[in-house]
Structure 1
Amino acid sequence: MITARKLISNHPTLSYLEKCTSMAQLLQIHAQMITTGLALNTFNASNLILFCALSDSGDIRYAHSLFCHIPNPNLFIYNTMIRGSAQSLSPKNSIFLYAQMVVRGISPDHYTFPFVLKACGRIRDLELGKTIHGILVKLALESDSFIRSSLINMYTNCGSVDFACRLFDKMFDFNVVSCNAMMSGYLKVGDLGSARSLFDKMPERDLVSWSTVIAGCVQLGDIKKALELFTEMQDLRIRADEVILASLLSASAQMGALYRGKWFHAYIYRSNVKLDVVLSTSLIDMYSKCGGVDIALRVFRLMPKKDTLAWNAIITGLAMNGCGEKSLGVFLEMQSEGKRPDDVTFIGVLCACSHAGLLDEGFRYFECMTRDYRINPRIEHYGCMVDLLGRAGLLEDAQDFISRMPVEPNAAIWGALLGGCIIHGNVELGECVGRLLIELEPHHSGRYVLLSNLYANANRWDDARNIREMMKEKGVQKIPGQSTIEAMGAVHEFVMGDRSHPQTKEIYHMLDEMAKQLTLAGYTPDTSKVLFNLDEEDKENALGYHSEKLAIAFGLINLGPNTPIRIVKNLRVCVDCHSVTKLISKIYGRKIIVRDRNRFHHFQEGYCSCKDYW
């Protein structure tokens, strides 16, 4: 005898549900299930919810709509909804569903709690997490290895790493899941040493283990260790996944190591790693931060699907590389394709206007953000506008803008105004702003240096000397200038007057040759920014031996004539180095790309992409 249940399960509409790949298809299937009465069956409805709640192509909001029409949802449906909600943009819904489930008398099981704990961690509700922990103890579920790992994750996400550590130490079976959770907890509080120690002791590791420790090394600045771990993976013939490669591309971006980034790009294709939206966006970010903005744009154009993060990456990348008009052009494309920009998008747009000196456009987009998209400006947006006005020399307007801000101005806002004062030589206002910045950030060396430079430019040498003395009294150390350049498969680092490099003799010989050629071209050193010698600062003020000049000399020696010289500097490029680099690009017929603390400078044929506006 054929039962009604079997007839339902064999219905052709249900076979379509198994092959469903998008919400558009699911909506059609759901419509057919309603007309045929299949949607009334709880089992069939649960399959609809399963796709909507857990599939990458699903829609958790539609899952909630379906859930509300089920009169008596069972444990499986509740667990599906709790899991989907915990991973959604509204994890708090998992807590509501769990509470509703208990009120209805449905007993949760060991599949329920890991996602309830995940939701507690995501909303950082430590007290609620402790309450759930207490329930687990009463139900004798605390010893379940998966639940114990979820508890560790919850505590670390809520900032209670000590409690997570105590839980971990009481575990009898140190499985890979719990070790990964604890390692992630250490990294969240910046304890890279403990994370690496645990990683080294792990009896077995999975891809999550490798991706966790590599990402942690990159985020906490130990790029060398991240690359060493990747080499170890290769020796063990472990194939890197999208998450690991995204971290390694971020490492390349931080170093400005274009050729290393290109190698990882090639690895993605060689290993047939899926080039998803996240990995594509990481490539755009890497190429942009390494000065390869043309390649970044090509990667962006080849993406079949683009989310807001991808649009933001290319808009910001173009802006920082001095391509303000192109950046705004891409933003217009984004609007025309119906993609909704977010607050980060407008930071990129306003930066593009600031770096390109597009004053009217900047105000128009600032108004567009609030008027058309109802985005409340953040302090970063206000900072872009102050920077835009300051660079344009409209210092009184910038002051007025700051006074009308609905938020309290921070050091970044005042720093943008001070930058404008230095560019346009407004000593009176700059002095007030500079001293205010020193009060706000008494241990930030850059604030003292900028104010000292302002005084020096105005020939107020006693005031400049007093500021430097103030630095000494407060124990504030000036950050030394540092430049890196990638060549011969390695990243080479230089500081002011550096003589530690194996090629020092050749580098200084090239510097002498550069000096001769510059003199023949009519160059005279710009000593207006050379203040005075104070103890160790005599080397710092020796213009001819600034770190980027050493890096350029190294590049001229070691890189072929058609290879761009790419340099990353930790401080702002000084006026003299900027002038020298323009001339060198013309004299030697070389393209030189310098990424300083603020932006990119693309030098070619005696010109810079910043148009001397930085």
Structure 2
Amino acid sequence: MRTAGVYPNHFTFSAVLPACASTSILVHGQQMHCLISKHGYEGYVFVGSALVDMYAKCHDMGLAEKVFVALPERNIVSWNSMIVGCLLNSFHVKALFLFREVRREDLFSPNQVSFSTVLSASANIGALEFGKQVHGVVVKQGLLTLSYVKNSLMDMYFKCGLFDEGALLFNSLGIENRDVIAWNVMSMGCVYNENFEEACNYLWVMKRAGISPDEASYSTALHASAHLAALDQGTLIHNQTIKSGFSTNTCIASSLITMYAKCGSLDDACRVFEEIENPNVVCWTALIAACQQHGNGNHVIKLFEKMLAGGLKPHYITFVCVISACSHTGRVEEGHAYFNSMEKVHGIIPGHEHYACMVDLLGRSGQLDEARKFIAQMPIKPNASVWGALLGACAKYGNLEMGSEVAGRLFGLEPDNPGNYILLANMYAHKGKLREADHVRRLMGINRVRKEPGCSWIDVKNKSFVFTVHDKLHARTDEIYEMLKKVQELVTNKGYVPQTQFAVNSAEELKEESLWYHSEKIALAFGLLALPAGAPIRIKKNLRTCGDCHTVMKFASEIWKREIIVRDVNRFHHFRNGLCSCRDYW
């Protein structure tokens, strides 16, 4: 255009700046800004608004604000550009402040963009009271009928934990007025409030209502299925994504990888990844995380190196998975190297998750003093996850002196976490200090901290069966306990020796017997009874599986010649032919 002798005007720049913004390449936008200044259009309100928007989308809010402040005239578009920019760059409090300024100046009436944006900012920081005030203004201005605004209100209430208020808004829409975004917000609301079954159900209700699900719909349903470890449900959704033409969508592909991994089917997760033509860093990270969760640390390292060789830049979560994999495979030097490369090579500043993984890496290898020194040298204040990793290592290696000191810190940081009390009490008990162990348990009572009851569940014919410790509520209880006796007899013949240190709350003479009432062993017995011969047994547990149950699962996998998959609160254990995928390093 310029080479042809035609000079751009303010309309030209207003049209070109959004293109620069869409690329998020700052230097292109700055070059355009120079041309705008050269031609004298910087003071035009819609050019200035487009500049603010461009800088915000290029993640330079400093320059965006500089342009905004310098504008000789502002309209609602200018203000919205700035507010939206704050939301995009996670300056949520600033977004709320700017919205308040618009209202205070009383020069412009906020429009649906203003309300939707500020409601999203309120949701992201849990500013419920502010969100309620905005709700009142929305009603006052008669904008509640706009689906764009109502969807944002629903999202705000869901994220702030007021599920009923959000659901009420959804129901008030009427089924004929619910677009795909409204359905997606409702589904995500269920996920935020841990109503995962309902979140999955909304996908099918939406389809019956004649709404075609989009990638967000499927990703949400897959996310919910992953939380439920509902493999059959997830597979059904996978089939729907293929029928709907989303099989090449990388967002859905990464959700599928995560779903299959969390449902215990790493092979299916790998197959999904292999079918992606050009996997992005999110897909790679999903597969790396999947392998890490399943204890395949060596493969995690191979995948990570392959990803780097392909020219992809890892992100924050990628390194959490990689360092954790090093921790679970005893790769201390490699873990250090990856941690050090984060900022030096990849420009990623380590966060608490990375420091916690490093402490776990050192702690698992028995280097407790080095782990303690590492914490002392952290540039950020250690949080509960960091100290928790060290406490776990102290418990593993029986370092009661350091463990009691670390537990004291954790009691201050997270007084409601029962795990810290239990670890310390067990450490005292293992050392024979029963009075101190009782004192810690009494402290739990004083602080009204309750231990989550251990339970395991197993799916048979699309139905979940839940078992607790010493469970006798199942209709087939007699058969289950007969099978449990058979398991005990057969594993004992194979060389099983009870590990009574995992029966800390039982009287000495009852310790061996009590081990056989653990929920995962009962679930195993039921699985052997109810599932077809040779079929994998998939058990889920809400707590960390104990060492004695881990040993029994290994023996059982060899005796019955079948795979046993146990998903506990930390990871998956795949038992095959008497061995576990964790190689007993967990």
Tell me whether 1:474 sits opposite 2:440 in the alignment.
Answer: no
Partner of 2:551: 579
Partner of 1:604: 576
Partner of 2:585: 613
5 Å matches for 1:460-609? 460-533=433-506, 542-609=514-581
- Distance of 1:190 and 1:93 partners within structure 2: 35
Q: Secondary structure at the residue paired with 2:583?
A: coil
Question: Post-superposition shift, 1:531?
Answer: 1.9
Contact 1:296–1:314 (Cα < 8 Å) also in 2: yes
Question: Post-superposition shift, 1:330?
Answer: 1.3
5 Å matches for 1:269-288? 269-273=242-246, 275-288=248-261
For 2:205, the aligned partner's letter is E
With normalisation by structure 1, the TM-score equals 0.85
Partner of 1:51: 19
Task: Report how many residues are paired.
Answer: 570
Question: Post-superposition shift, 1:584?
Answer: 0.9
Task: Spell out, residue by residue over 1:424-450, the C-alpha distance to the aligned partner (whole angstroms, 9 max, x if none).
Answer: 233333333334433443322111111
- Distance of 1:409 and 1:149 partners within structure 2: 36
| Mean CA deviation greater in 209-218 or 42-51 | 42-51
Partner of 2:383: 410
Task: Spell out, residue by residue over 1:91-117, the C-alpha distance to the aligned partner (whole angstroms, 9 max, x if none).
Answer: 5655444444x41x4x635x5554443
Contact 2:456–2:523 (Cα < 8 Å) also in 1: yes
With normalisation by structure 2, the TM-score equals 0.88
- Distance of 1:153 and 1:429 partners within structure 2: 44
Q: Secondary structure at the residue paired with 1:603?
A: strand
Tell me whether 1:313 sits opposite 2:286 in the alignment.
Answer: yes
Query: Which consecutive unaligned segments of at least 5 residues does structure 1 have?
Result: 1-32
Contact 1:485–1:493 (Cα < 8 Å) also in 2: yes
Partner of 1:456: 429
Question: Post-superposition shift, 1:610?
Answer: 0.8
Q: Residues 53 and 418 (structure 1 numbering): CA distance in 2 closer, same or farther, change over 3 Å?
A: closer
- Distance of 1:587 and 1:175 partners within structure 2: 63
Structure 2 counterpart of 1:247, from 196, 220, 226: 220
Contact 1:91–1:123 (Cα < 8 Å) also in 2: no
Task: Spell out, residue by residue over 1:318-346, the C-alpha distance to the aligned partner (whole angstroms, 9 max, x if none).
Answer: 12211111111111112212222233222
Question: Post-superposition shift, 1:78?
Answer: 4.7
For 1:52, the aligned partner's letter is C
Q: Secondary structure at the residue paired with 1:601?
A: strand
Partner of 1:30: none
Contact 1:152–1:167 (Cα < 8 Å) also in 2: no
Q: Residues 489 and 234 (structure 1 numbering): CA distance in 2 closer, same or farther, change over 3 Å?
A: farther
5 Å matches for 1:96-115? 96-100=66-70, 102-103=71-72, 105=73, 108=75, 113-115=79-81
- Distance of 1:58 and 1:387 partners within structure 2: 38
Partner of 1:68: 34
For 1:246, the aligned partner's letter is S
- Distance of 1:312 and 1:248 partners within structure 2: 20
Q: Percent identity?
A: 35
Tell me whether 1:362 sits opposite 2:332 in the alignment.
Answer: no
Q: Structure 1 stretches (4+) deviating beyond 6 angstroms? A: 538-541
Partner of 1:290: 263
Contact 2:24–2:57 (Cα < 8 Å) also in 1: no
5 Å matches for 1:212-361? 212-273=185-246, 275-361=248-334
Tell me whether 1:138 sits opposite 2:107 in the alignment.
Answer: yes
> RMSD over aligned Cα, in angstroms?
2.9
Q: Residues 246 and 431 (structure 1 numbering): CA distance in 2 closer, same or farther, change over 3 Å?
A: same
- Distance of 1:424 and 1:155 partners within structure 2: 46
Q: Secondary structure at the residue paired with 2:584?
A: coil
For 1:119, the aligned partner's letter is G
| Mean CA deviation greater in 91-100 or 123-132 | 91-100
- Distance of 1:362 and 1:475 partners within structure 2: 39
Task: Spell out, residue by residue over 1:239-284, the C-alpha distance to the aligned partner (whole angstroms, 9 max, x if none).
Answer: 2111111111111221222222222111100122364332222122
Q: Residues 252 and 527 (structure 1 numbering): CA distance in 2 closer, same or farther, change over 3 Å?
A: same
5 Å matches for 1:12-91? 33-37=1-5, 40=8, 46-54=14-22, 59=25, 61-70=27-36, 71=39, 72=41, 77-87=47-57, 89-90=59-60
Query: Which consecutive unaligned segments of at least 5 residues does structure 2 have?
Result: none
Partner of 2:163: 192
